[in-house]
Amino acid sequence: MNELPGSTGNTGHTGLPPPVEREHIHTRRVVSRGYLRADGLWDIEAGIEDTKTYFARNADGRERQPGEPIHHMQVRLTLDDTL
């Protein structure tokens, strides 16, 4: 995954100061996209996906390998020009 905007190492942005030593544990990825539909309406679609960097077991007992999504939620919102 690309660096976050404004994080250390991303040229052209005001970056964060270097962090102290740490271990990456969790990633939450949020993506949203806008679409103009053929009927003139707008679709806004968004998704959230969480992953862990370590083996985990869900409350229901299912095993999740490192990097495997814990959950992936999606939503679609349809709007007209009057919002």
In the chain, % helix, strand, coil (3-state, to 5) comes to 0, 45, 55
> pLDDT tier at 15 (50, 70, 90 boundaries)?
confident
Q: Which pTM was predicted?
A: 0.66
Helices then strands, counting H and E runs in the chain, come out as 0, 5
Q: Residue 60: left if φ>0, alpha if ψ -120 to 50, beta else—which one?
A: alpha
The predicted-structure confidence for 31-81, as pLDDT tens digits, reads as follows 999 999 999 999 999 999 999 999 998 888 999 999 999 888 999 999 999
Nearest to 29 by CA among 73, 65, 77: 73
Q: Tell me the mean pLDDT in the region 18-42.
A: 97
